[in-house]
């Protein structure tokens, strides 16, 4: 048997991906393709991927300091014991290793995270901490920090267009646990270049029939007990990207 030809077979690779992600549950929206990174419309016609145009420059953000070095308290209501209610100012002021505690509430802004940091929302039953993006001219979150974690945090991108709710670049490593992501754009989370994205017990939604989660380039990741809802594609893996998964559900 010609194993080299078999391993290069597009259908064989698709079968391997489906087997890895199924974990004994029903899988619907799974796409793996070799070659150019692109989406496909309902009639089979390719449609463009995320825009290659540069983001519009952000407004000036004044850097701030936390009351306790390395630890931030962010409160949407502006409580006196908090460091800030402005998520953009906080993310622009982070240092490597900082921990950001988000209290229940909605934090609107476009954020760039270029250091290692952890974002922790309230525990279950104590309300939701939501980072909300509204600007269709840029990704809601742009992450290039070496190690970035989110736990008990919701990400909501309420802008139509090509930019994703969260874009993970370079060799950044991002982990989500007990989180939720919802996008109204064509893409939810886009991991590209040599980035790593890992998720556990996390829910993904692309409410306008977009792609919940996309890996491209040499990106890689692991998905465990995640749910993919309301998207045209649950997970899309292209070029040399690699994904492992178990016990994930797709609707």
The token pair that represents 97 in the structure block: 């290793």
Q: Which domain holds residue 235?
A: 61-250
Nearest 5 degrees, angle CA 109-CA 190-CA 139? 25
| 8 Å CB contact between 146 and 170 | no
Query: pLDDT band at residue 36, thresholds of 50, 70 and 90?
Result: very low
Bridging pattern class, strands 173-177 and 211-215: unpaired
Q: Tell me, yes or no, whether 38 lies in a domain.
A: no
Please report whether residue 232 resides in a domain: yes
| Residue 12, in any domain of the structure | no
User: Would you say residue 30 lies in a domain?
Assistant: no
pLDDT above 90 coverage of the chain, percent: 72
- Report the relative pairing of strands 227-229 and 147-151 from DSSP bridges: unpaired
In a domain, 120, yes or no: yes
Give the whole-angstrom CA distance, residue 164 versus residue 161. 8
What's the pLDDT band for 227 if we cut at 50, 70, 90? very high
Q: How many CB atoms lie within 10 A of CB 16?
A: 12
Residue 24 lies in a domain: no
For the stretch 174-205, pLDDT in tens is 999 999 999 999 999 999 999 999 999 999 99
From CA 199, how far away is CA 59, in angstroms rounded?
31
Give the total number of structural domains in the chain. Answer: 1
H or E stretch covering 9:
none
Q: Within a domain: residue 197? A: yes
Domain-embedded: residue 25: no
Whole-structure pTM over 0.85, yes or no? no
Closest CA to 65 of 107, 93, 103, 100: 93
**Reported confidence tier of residue 28, pLDDT bands at 50, 70, 90:** very low
Cβ burial, residue 35 (10 Å; 0-12/13-18/19+): exposed
Query: At 95, which CATH number?
Result: 2.160.20
């Amino acid at each position: 048997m010609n194993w080299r030809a078999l391993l290069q077979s597009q259908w064989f690779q698709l079968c391997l991906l489906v087997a890895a992600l199924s974990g004994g549950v029903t899988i619907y929206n799974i796409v793996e393709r070799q070659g150019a990174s692109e989406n496909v419309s309902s009639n089979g016609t390719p449609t463009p991927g995320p825009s290659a145009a540069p983001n519009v420059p952000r407004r000036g953000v004044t850097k701030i300091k936390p009351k306790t070095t390395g630890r931030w308290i962010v409160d949407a209501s502006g409580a006196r014991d908090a460091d800030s209610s402005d998520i953009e100012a906080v993310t622009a002021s982070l240092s490597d290793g900082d921990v950001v505690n988000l209290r229940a509430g909605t934090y609107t802004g476009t954020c760039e995270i270029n250091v290692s940091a952890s974002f922790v929302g309230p525990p279950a039953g104590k309300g939701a901490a939501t980072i909300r993006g509204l600007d269709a001219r840029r990704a809601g979150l742009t992450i290039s920090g070496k190690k970035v974690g989110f736990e008990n945090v919701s990400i909501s991108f309420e802008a139509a267009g090509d930019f994703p709710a969260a874009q993970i670049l370079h060799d950044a490593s991002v982990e989500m646990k007990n989180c939720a992501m919802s996008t109204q754009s064509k893409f939810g989370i886009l991991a590209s270049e040599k980035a790593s994205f890992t998720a556990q017990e996390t829910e993904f939604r692309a409410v306008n029939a977009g792609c919940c989660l996309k890996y491209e380039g040499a990106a890689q990741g692991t998905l465990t007990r995640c749910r993919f809802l309301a998207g045209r594609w649950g997970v899309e893996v292209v070029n040399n990207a690699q994904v492992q998964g178990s016990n994930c559900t797709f609707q």
